[in-house]
Amino acid sequence: MFKQFSISAPSVSIKVDLQHKIDNKTKPLGSLGQLESIALQLGQIQNTLMPDVSKPAMIVFAADHGVVEQGISLFPQEVTPQMVMNFLMGGAAVSVFCEQHKAPLRIVDVGVKVDLEDHPLLSQRKVAYGSQDFSQQAAMSSAELAMAIEAGVNEANLAIDEGVNLLMFGEMGIGNTCVSSCMMTAITGITAQQSAGRGTGLDNAGVSHKAQVIEASLQRAERETGQAMADWSPETLAQQVGGFEILAMAGAMLQSAQRQTAFVVDGFICTVALLFAQKVAPQVREYAIFAHQSNESAHRILLDSLNAEPILSLDLRLGEGSGAILSYPLIQSASLFLNKMASFESAGVSGSN
């Protein structure tokens, strides 16, 4: 059993005052569109008329997956530690974008298959050397699940204790689109054919094979648990078909919400982490800002199921938190217009009749 979370809803009492402040800026009603919704959400989460996202941070969780042995990825597992090193050396897209926007980057090893050398940007929280191949057996033990969740909790606490007021999450792990699709199918009940996508570039035959592996894995898990997947608890689902980095992200999201801190959801894999977190504690959804709709085929279905409106749609399919950091300037603009833009009264501008 992993840590229990007690998440309260963002402030309702301040909502009227926030909306009044938004509506009385020198602009037609609603003319800043989605920025107004984000400003309102941030103000409610922080319970203030002056929300602040000036201290963001990006946390990328990395792990490997045993199901890669079933040939569901174009890339070999060796790419996971190679990309982690690329992050640490500043050569990855998320590294470049974080530097651009002065957002600290932290990489967390929760399950990479090899040992990584210490580095100032690396947090060593390895649960195991990758998950088990869930087409053959459960992905992890209950103890490993608890450790993965706790890794995310600890990383969120560390950042918030350091003054971070907006958390962004990303992931790295060869095979994790397959894991995410499997988790999505188990939670939502859609078919494996609907949830499986191209990932890092699979062709039609590769996508079909991935869907078959997902179906077989879920059937194996139903047989071994003696339960239909619709009846699985969050613990059962995670142990059977989860991934360490996805569960660590979920833990970080849950802890962020428990500490009333907004967080940014990246692409498909990160959104599946939120889907799982919502199964644990439904209120977590209210603290999430959705960065973008990715190129992964099931992401739109997933966003619709969460009633989420993403900020961007740039045909991205990179992962690693790249969409989250790209959305940050717009989230920042949402707080800045609320804090600095003149009101009709202060500017001496006539309002609408």
- Does residue 20 lie within any of the structural domains? no
Type and span of the H or E element at 107: strand 105-111
- Does residue 43 lie within any of the structural domains? no
- Does residue 207 lie within any of the structural domains? yes
Confidence of residue 297 (pLDDT cuts 50, 70, 90): confident
Confidence of residue 275 (pLDDT cuts 50, 70, 90): very high
Catalytic residues: 320
pTM score, whole prediction:
0.96
Taking only Cα atoms into account, the Rg of the chain, rounded to an integer number of angstroms, comes to 20
Confidence of residue 345 (pLDDT cuts 50, 70, 90): confident
- Does residue 231 lie within any of the structural domains? yes
State how many domains the chain has: 1
Question: CATH number, domain at 64?
Answer: 3.40.50.10210
Q: pLDDT by residue (tens digit) across 157-180?
A: 999 999 999 999 999 999 999 999
- Does residue 5 lie within any of the structural domains? no
Confidence of residue 116 (pLDDT cuts 50, 70, 90): very high
Host domain of residue 81: 56-328
Q: CA triplet 342, 348, 351: central angle to 5 degrees?
A: 85
Gap between the Cα atoms of 37 and 338, Å rounded: 11
- Does residue 353 lie within any of the structural domains? no
pLDDT at residue 94 tops 70: yes
Q: pLDDT by residue (tens digit) across 185-242?
A: 999 999 999 999 898 889 999 899 999 999 999 999 999 999 999 999 999 999 999 9
Q: Mean pLDDT, the chain, as a whole number?
A: 96
Gap between the Cα atoms of 172 and 4, Å rounded: 26
**Three-state DSSP class for residue 132:** coil
- Does residue 47 lie within any of the structural domains? no
- Give the pLDDT score at 352: 67
- Does residue 181 lie within any of the structural domains? yes
